[in-house]
Amino acid sequence: MGQIIANTIKQSITELVGHTPLLALNQYTKELQLEAEIIAKLEYFNPANSVKDRIAKAMIEDAEARGVLTKDKTIIETTSGNTGIGLAAIAAAKGYKLRIYMQDGVSEERTKVVKAYGTEVVPFSDVPEMVAAFEETDGDFVETIKVFRETVVDKEDNVVFLNQLDNEANPNIHERTTGPEIWADTAGQIDIFVAAIGTGGTISGVGAYLKSKNPAIQIIGVEPAINSIATVEQPDIIEITGVHRFSDAQEARVPSNVHLDRIDEVLEVETEEAYKAARTVAQTDGVLVGTSSGAALFVATTLAKRPENKGKRIVVLFPDTGLRYLSTDLF
């Protein structure tokens, strides 16, 4: 009688979130003649193709566990794209209604993908109070969310606002999954971890876990340089979508999920530098990633060039797929 094979058929895409692979960027490091090892955590292997699938699942299941989220309620969230896509996929799989308030100016693919899952999409520009707040604060996302809560969330019944900026399920899931995955897959052989700072959940959660295993591991944040941030006066500046600058921000404008005390250093990246890195790794290693990944790779490359990092292992997190940027100038 033949051997009985265990049934490994998954019953929901929620079971596919996490356990993404690490890939050594051997051809990239060879091409640039780097003397440190760069390994990428490929988060586009998540079912909806980004690191945000992790927090989408975590925030929804946390709301379920607390009894806040029930089938008669609509989930709402504000996003520049990937969180909305992750939520749309998980909400569809779990049978929840979802409404996403999407930041204006994001790539066309983001809106189309969210709608493909059956999710309602509302542009920020459809909420005049948010537009005013965005302009008055020169594009500050934290202040704009406060206005969103007052003008939308508090005025509607039967909605659940997940609020990724302040939701503890965000960094917690990275401390429970992303960090342990990196530690296990490297057998603890990691010197530096690099990630872009968006809501702060990824770097704060992974940083907390890795530091708990080895305090000597350097946690390096990535933020946009001043010249790569759009303003009311210069709205046409091309930004690094989903990556925010907090190192010199007022404390009131730093989301609670950005734990700067867990970050050893923050390095700046211009959008064009992020573009160049993303284009290069696509051609050297066949890894097609987005602008935020390019930004993180640029910083990892900068670190790899430092004499003190010769022979060290740098793990850099790539948040999403380059397929989400084909309508932009990235490629």
CA–CA separation, 112 and 242 (whole Å): 17
Tokens (6 digits) for 236 = 């046409």
What's the count of helices (H) and strands (E) in the chain, helices before strands?
Answer: 11, 10
Tokens (6 digits) for 315 = 């793990």
CA–CA separation, 191 and 182 (whole Å): 12
State residue 100 phi and psi, 5-degree precision: -110, 130
CA–CA separation, 1 and 123 (whole Å): 60
CA–CA separation, 329 and 71 (whole Å): 40
Residue 55 neighbours by CB under 8 Å, 6+ apart? 83, 86, 164, 167, 169, 170, 173, 174, 199, 201
Catalytic entry in 52, 57, 94, 312 = 52
Q: Is 256 a catalytic residue?
A: no
Q: Is 50 a catalytic residue?
A: no
Catalytic entry in 50, 80, 204, 292 = 292
**Which residues are known to be catalytic?**
52, 292
